[in-house]
Amino acid sequence: MTPIVQGFLLGKQAAYHRREPIMPIQQILTGGKVPVKIYTDDIDPKALVQLSNMAQLPFVHGHVVAMPDVHVGIGATVGAVIPTKGAIIPAAVGVDIGCGMNAVRLSLKAGQLPDNLRPLRHVVEAAVPVGFDMHLEGHGALASTVRALSGGLDHIVKRHPGILKMQKNVERSWMRQLGTLGGGNHFIELCLDENQDVWVMLHSGSRGIGNIIGRYFIELARKDMGKHLANLPDRDLAYLREGAEHFDDYVDAVHWAQDYAMTNRREMMRLILEALARQLPPFTATKEAINCHHNYVAVEHHFGEELFVTRKGAIRAGAGDLGIIPGSMGAKSYIVRGKGEPESFCSCSHGAGRRMSRGQAKKKFDPQDLIAQTAGVECRKDAGVLDEIPGAYKDIDAVMANQSDLVEVVHTLKQVMCVKG
């Protein structure tokens, strides 16, 4: 698609500039209140429209950033960094609040793993509920962990009792979902690095309670905007202004959900390591790479200003920060160290990024394609996970090349076992 056509798609006021192929910024969109700086040439026109819409909002500060794994999302583009002053867009944070990654290196070598990893996969699947499954009452997360989270949620639902009406038995299910994987693109993997060291890596978020909190405040933001909602380029960009009635409540709720998500990953990792310890030679966890969010909002200082930085499908990559950038199942993943690049608001991609929707993937591929593309990986290879086939994702090597100024690679991981919901 030519720049002229792309500029047309972005509206009469938008302009489109293609840079020469000098890393890292590949394209710049102008015409909004702020520019959009894009770290890839591989971007869907619909994502360009979403980014242009975001750049028109009056409280977006400096510029919007699109990561190399950028693709269309609900409300806001996945793979976007949105700095704002005095307001937050709940739909930009999303409904899987605090979704992110955790990775731990073990003291085991590849040669200490069994030749057949299928029994090991089943052991992990038995220890960590996947999909819509939950732990039995009284099992799963430690009681002390549940108590630490209970007070914060009680405060939130006391002010917003409607949250409890959005799902049956939510006051109990959030406890039973602590230490569970969920579905979609969430996963648990056993990987080997360049030294043949064994790693455990997982991807999950705030489960059902985070989804409820996200949907509740997205709708509340729309209601609070009233007739002004019609002035937005997209109703999913409804925002909460700092100082408005529900702003502080949302900040409290989103921070609680982010804490829940991090705790969920920590509890899952504990359960996985306990399960593996019963099957493998004695080992210790030698290094936790990071337990990081990639759907979240935080207060940060950039360019001399205190801002709300929303990362929707992006991770923080400040100078020295360790992060995890996974590829699709069957591809490589990376442990990285941030370089603190100011133009990216100290951010990098959160993965490979989808190149086709789940529906498109199911139409294009069949289980035989999945078997071929996940050769050498012990994982499900049935139609139920066909939408997660590697061919539905961008090339992780190209994504990494486009952000060489944002991160340096510390370890390269290759999956040998993958658990999906």
What token pair was written down for 171? 């006051």
Mean pLDDT, to the nearest integer, of 179-186?
94
What share of the chain in percent tops pLDDT 90? Answer: 85
Evaluate the omega torsion of the peptide bond into residue 24 and state whether it is cis, within 30 degrees of 0: yes
Mean per-residue pLDDT over the chain, rounded? 91
Using CA atoms in the order 96, 272, 368, 393, what is the torsion angle rounded to 10 degrees?
40
- pLDDT of amino acid 196: 98
For 58-67, 224-233, 243-252, 316-325, which range has the lowest pLDDT when averaged over its residues? 224-233
pLDDT of residue 137: 78
Predicted confidence at residue 74, as pLDDT, reads 79
Q: Which of 17-26, 257-266, 412-421 has the lowest mean pLDDT?
A: 17-26
Nearest residue to 260 (alpha-carbon basis) of 313, 311, 208: 208
Band (pLDDT 50/70/90 cuts) for residue 2 is very low
Domain ranges of the chain: 3-355+393-420
| Band of pLDDT at residue 287, cut at 50, 70 and 90 | confident
Determine the Cα–Cα distance for residues 217 and 91; give it in Å rounded to an integer. Answer: 9
From the list 259, 146, 129, the residue with the least C-alpha distance to 181 is 129
- The token pair at 177 is 């979902």
How confident is residue 6, by pLDDT bands cut at 50, 70 and 90? very low
pTM of the predicted protein model = 0.92
> What is the structure's pLDDT at 289?
63
CA torsion sign for 217, 218, 223, 226 is positive
Whether 312 shows a pLDDT value over 80: the answer reads yes
Most confident of 164-168, 234-238, 251-255: 251-255
> Which helix (H) or strand (E) element contains residue 201?
strand 197-204
Residue 242 DSSP symbol: T
Residue 207 has pLDDT above 50, yes or no: yes
Per-residue confidence (pLDDT) for residue 15, from 0 to 100:
43
Across the range 130-148, mean pLDDT stands at: 88
Confidence label for 213 from pLDDT (cuts 50, 70 and 90): very high
Query: What pLDDT digit, counting tens, does each position of 329-383 carry?
Result: 878 999 999 999 999 999 999 999 988 989 999 999 999 999 999 999 999 999 9
d(CA 107, CA 99): 27
Alpha-carbon torsion angle 279, 418, 258, 81, nearest 10: 150
Task: Render pLDDT for 68-113 as a digit per residue (tens, 0 to 9).
Answer: 999 999 778 999 999 999 999 999 999 999 999 999 999 999 999 9
**CATH 3.30.70.2660 fits domain 3-355+393-420:** no
Q: Are strands 322-325 and 332-338 parallel, antiparallel or unpaired?
A: antiparallel
Give residue 23's pLDDT. Answer: 55
pLDDT value of position 339: 98
Distance CA 155, CA 129 (A): 28
Q: Please state the rounded mean pLDDT for residues 239-261.
A: 97
| pLDDT band with cut points at 50, 70 and 90 for residue 314 | very high
What's at 44, amino acid-wise? D
Q: What is the pLDDT of residue 421?
A: 76
Condensed to tens digits (0 to 9), the pLDDT of residues 16-67 reads: 444 444 457 999 999 899 999 999 999 999 999 999 999 999 999 999 999 9
- Residue 142: which pLDDT band, with cuts at 50, 70 and 90? confident
E-strand stretches of 23-76: 27-30, 36-38, 64-71
| Three-state secondary structure call for residue 186 | coil
The phi, psi pair for 286, rounded to 5°, reads -95, -20
Catalytic residue numbers read 350
How confident is residue 3, by pLDDT bands cut at 50, 70 and 90? very low
